[in-house]
Structure 1
Amino acid sequence: MEATHRTEGDLMAHEERTPGPGRNVAVLRKEHGLSQVQLARRSGVSLSMLSKIEIGDRALTQGMAAAIAAGMGITLDEVLGKAPVTSEDNLKALRAAMRRFDLAGEPPRSLMELETDLTKLTDHRFNTDLNDVLELLPGVLSRAQNHAHDTQTPDAWATVADVYSTVYWVAARHRWLDLCELASLKQMLAAERATPLVGIVAARDNAGMFLNNGDFAGGLGVIEQAISKAESTLTGEDRAFGLGVLHLRGLTLAGRLRDKTAADQHIAKAEQYAAEFSADIIKHEMHFGPQNTAVHIISTSGDLRRHSKALQVSQELQRQDIKLPATRVGPMHLDTSRARLALGDRDGALDSLEQAWEVAPQLAKVHPTSQELFRVMVSMHKRSNPRLNKIAKRVKISI
């Protein structure tokens, strides 16, 4: 089929059928009565870049989305868009369980059953089975809280904190920011009754709440406080692990701020602590080690517009036997796609986007980077593309 030329009206109709965060910018800007010139000035984004984002010639990054949200005086999730709720009943049940955090209930009859459910929950999380995670969470959280109230042991409260970390994770993936904030608060309260490392992981998620809201400087402040605490309270492997996950969060926040100096400092520290592990390990639902550090460097290199660096690290990592779960491999492919697209390799970008969908389809469906990459690739391909059509069918939109 020969390439066809699209008029401005055709492009607008095309964009309406392929929604994404960038498309939201144009809609929200008009709702707020702002011209492109006015929004560009308020947000500190160039007029040319803003125009390209709106029509689908450039992907909207979360850093730029935060600046644009601030320029319009709205929240970041309004720009990125919230993922729809797949089950209102499960979400209501989860909120009900969270309300009963301070209330002792009937303890589980079998600790083995609780441990089995916790294993299932972790497996679903690492496989990015978002719907299954949301279905399991209310019951697992209730049983974990009741067990903690019954025994009052640090290990039991550590389990509660770990489950709230999963609540935070699933809420963040859908950009349900009110639930993120509530989960982070409960996680920190549970961590106060557990071991020091649990508190450090909770601080890492608390900084993530700032990240999700676009307050990158505030998140860095949380990380700096947590680093000081970790340095004075943790020892041995826990110290390297705790400081490592904090620096990974720090480099992400600094990257979103485009603070190259701070990002490089966090990268150097993360690599230093990762070198203490021969392979990535898991503690309290967190991965840390050389491979997860590489995944974070790929993402932050993209935020800093070091796209060649991002691609180099990605290629080096993919030559290895990757032991990371889909929660990390899926985003790695998305960030690789973003780097390839920025470097003008549209076919390679589509390859990586397809890999992300293959590894973590539920995550790819709701992830703003995935949505933006898809929208831009649809805009760039002037002819029908079977590979994009296949993704479109999974997303259930028309292109």
Structure 2
Amino acid sequence: MAANNIAVFRKQRGLSQTELAERIGTTLNMLGKLERGDRSLDQAWLDKIGGALGVAPHELIAPDAPEKPISSLSVVTPSSEEVVHIQKLDLSLSMGPGTLIEDWVEAEPVAFDLAFIQAITRTPSSRLKLVTGIGDSMYPTLNWGDVILIDTTDRQLARQDGVYWIDVYGAAGLKRLRNVGKNRVLVISDNPTVPDMEVDAADLRIQGRAIWLARGI
């Protein structure tokens, strides 16, 4: 059994070690030591890593990580006046073939604890959006009904294998992307039963990158 559950939650969130290290402001080497249990996890580390992964700190050191970790919006219900409001879009993004859309409509904003958001990203809250995923092509990384936080400033394929909100051939969806060279991009479905698709970069529009999710019970 692992010394802690950091790697389990990180992989289930679709994050590389490099991405998580950047989020918590540490080096790749240090994160590796924390995951292996070579460095002790004090409360400061637990709070920082838990915030970045969207889980309660105690879950990182529980005897066993849940098979499908749940991180609900209630976890981030603000308990103080230090809140930010993030716009939830009246839009369900397909995790299957793609949802045809012409535009999206903003719904009511959702209040988040400021410290929680700052632990996840440095992007201004005005550039963050919440969307709902439908379909099963990104399972087990994303489930039907997950609420996903999108960083709309991240519109370039700078992170290999990141999960992005994309428009391709007029359809919108959430997919993992990989640059395969010669202006070609592999659009990846995490569900092994769903085939991947290679497209021209010119046919692909990135609307933002998925950086956190909330999952209902």
Bigger relative CO (Cα 8 Å, ≥ 6 apart): 2
Q: Which has the higher helix share?
A: 1
What is the TM-score normalised by the length of structure 1? Answer: 0.23
